[in-house]
Structure 1
């Protein structure tokens, strides 16, 4: 695509491109082609989920525009990724006649929450990450216990910690588990979806692609060495948070003058796996998914430490 055509496309479809970049910002990337590949991966897995992803990201982008968000932040898609993930999560984890409406409402709330978190964290030099998505999703899921019009899906079962048993047995299909590591960021499983997602990262930046692969491997093998459940490793549930951590700590928020960045990235990915275990344990009585909280916690710790100890 030529430069003139790219500029013309930007002039003709600014809202659509900002929405696509919002989708790509889940990977901390501001590239509309990456966003298109992510949306394709979601849509081929589930058309309804793909539609929800696009509408939710569009709601976030529209909120940023109409609400007077900084034009550069809106164009980069920084108002779109948290609403997108929120809409997808609520669409999957809630049931009932108004579940679609609740999912889109959650996307709008997440957009407002994103603006609030940006207001408080940006002056301190800290990124927003996915905290708005996590908190909004958890709160709306918990509210379902008090209303009849929507409820949490039966797939999420609250459990008492004393009744929990660790099941290690099970075969791990390492290739599919590796690809599902990327897919689980968007609640996806499947070889084609995983390939499209990794392709989306490499299209934007080959270095980020290598870090995503490394983070995925570190997450999977750390969980295996520590004796994590094989079924969870096989489903990619120990890889997706580590991928995001590797991208954030290793590339996006890396201090170029810090020679320990590579080592801190490896350690942060290991810590992310440990946090997966702790967050899952805390949430057992509520039947809530961990989402990307392990990534957000581990990344915030290392970025904050770098700001204080340059």
Structure 2
């Protein structure tokens, strides 16, 4: 009898751990849904098997650090200690080079969980979500440290560029459908249409409203980027869409207020705003060779959620 109880307990702990880890993946898109997390993991693996491996390992690490650190069970079970770890691990494997990048990525994933816990503590009184801010700051600093630390090697894709010789390239056609699928895929650094479709399915599985909002946010971002004269190649790759998707889901659904009739409109405006902010931030970071990541999403979401404290109709 005691053996059966111990086995049942171990099985329950293991199942809870796997579920929390999968939710850590789904929480990247602000979704608390283990099956959606599994579908997203499949989508990542289809796009890139090594990104799929690091995403899963990073989710495990973030969850384990939360458990080992004694975080409250609800936060762990909802994947709130894992999503920044997932993004940090994926970004570092993608943007670093050399044999040590996997070790650096896994250590970065562990640090992201600690940073997340710290930010949750400091932001709790403000009642503003930390979103992906820990992942952004941690990734930027690790990438920048490559200029001073020989053991950390930056990928050649992130070479600093001189703004004095920068030229805007708006050549090429825009495939709206391709841009829509790539937009949601770029949340996880993917530009694979099949992966994008699977991620949309994962979002719709968590809620039809979330899925429709994701499509709306992506479309308005593509249109704004096009009419403002953005680079066509970047639009098609979804690099103007992924921040808009996250922003409209956050502003109009996850952190929305039921008192306002203008919640969707606020989310659309916020999603549109991510386009010029992404363009400006990208220009600002060019001399440092840093990617924009999800900072436009964080800034626009904080802007609207903060404004709601004074103007609740937003």
Q: How far apart, in 2, do the equivalents of 1:22 and 1:159 lie?
A: 35
Alpha-carbon shift at residue 258 of structure 1 (Å): 1.0
Residue 212 of structure 2: aligned partner: 210
CA contact (8 A) 1:24 1:35 kept: yes
Is 2:290 the partner of 1:291?
no
Q: How far apart, in 2, do the equivalents of 1:206 and 1:198 lie?
A: 10
Residue 108 of structure 1: aligned partner: 110
Report the aligned-residue RMSD: 1.3
Q: How far apart, in 1, do the equivalents of 2:12 and 2:257 lie?
A: 31
5 Å matches for 1:61-210? 61-210=63-212
Alpha-carbon shift at residue 174 of structure 1 (Å): 1.6
Q: How far apart, in 2, do the equivalents of 1:12 and 1:81 lie?
A: 19
CA contact (8 A) 2:145 2:152 kept: no
Structure 2 unaligned spans of 5+: 1-10
Is 2:313 the partner of 1:305?
no
Measured at CA, do residues 11 and 87 of structure 1 come closer, stay the same or move farther in structure 2, by a change above 3 Å? closer
CA contact (8 A) 1:245 1:298 kept: yes
CA contact (8 A) 1:30 1:77 kept: yes
Structure 1 unaligned spans of 5+: 1-8
Residue 14 of structure 1: aligned partner: 16
Alpha-carbon shift at residue 190 of structure 1 (Å): 1.2
Q: How far apart, in 1, do the equivalents of 2:91 and 2:14 lie?
A: 31
- Describe the SS at the equivalent of 2:291: coil
Measured at CA, do residues 98 and 287 of structure 1 come closer, stay the same or move farther in structure 2, by a change above 3 Å? same
The 4+ residue runs of structure 1 with deviation greater than 4 A are 9-12
Q: How far apart, in 1, do the equivalents of 2:280 and 2:73 lie?
A: 39
Residue 3 of structure 2: aligned partner: none
Alpha-carbon shift at residue 149 of structure 1 (Å): 2.1
Residue 237 of structure 1: aligned partner: 239
CA contact (8 A) 1:97 1:150 kept: no
Q: How far apart, in 2, do the equivalents of 1:49 and 1:208 lie?
A: 25
Q: What TM-score, normalized by structure 1, do the two folds share?
A: 0.95
5 Å matches for 1:268-283? 268-283=270-285
